[in-house]
């Protein structure tokens, strides 16, 4: 069974925002973990270095999620362009056109 352009566009219009939201929710969840870890360390009677390796690894995981988010926004942008090219569908609010999400860009760093 083949998938029509309309069916693919409809699925992508639903799945893309859900994937973007999931990445943001993962960032929120890891931020909550970090906040709890730091609160436990500052409130507890423990040395300042306690849990430092875990905190470092958590920050690295957050950086990976931010990178994944940027990459997925690029995917969204490319699929939206493809959808317009094929006149299949509009994928809703899309990330900015090339430039704003490029590594090293001031806008990307602020986002």
pLDDT in tens, 45-60: 899 899 999 999 999 9
Task: Compare 12 and 106 and report the one with higher pLDDT.
Answer: 12
Mean pLDDT of the chain: 85
Is pLDDT above 50 for 109?
Answer: no
* Residue 12 pLDDT exceeds 60: yes
Question: DSSP characters for the chain?
Answer: -PPPHHHHHHHHHHHHHHHHHHHHHHHHHHHHHHHHHHHHHHHSS--TTTTHHHHHHHHHHHHHHHHHHHHHHHHHHHHHHHHHHHT----SS-PPSTTTTSTT-HHHHH-
Res 98: pLDDT:
54
Percent of the chain at pLDDT > 90 equals: 58
**pLDDT at 107 > cutoff 70:** no
């Amino acid at each position: 069974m083949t998938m029509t352009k309309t069916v693919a566009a409809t699925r992508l219009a639903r799945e893309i925002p859900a994937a973007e939201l999931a990445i943001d929710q993962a960032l929120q969840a890891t931020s909550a973990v970090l906040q709890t870890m730091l609160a436990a360390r500052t409130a507890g009677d423990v040395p300042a270095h306690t849990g430092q390796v875990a905190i470092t690894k958590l920050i690295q995981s957050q950086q990976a999620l931010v990178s994944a988010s940027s990459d997925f926004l690029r995917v969204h942008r490319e699929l939206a362009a493809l959808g317009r090219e094929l006149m299949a569908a509009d994928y809703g609010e899309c990330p900015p056109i090339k430039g704003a999400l490029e590594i090293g860009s001031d806008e990307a760093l602020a986002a």
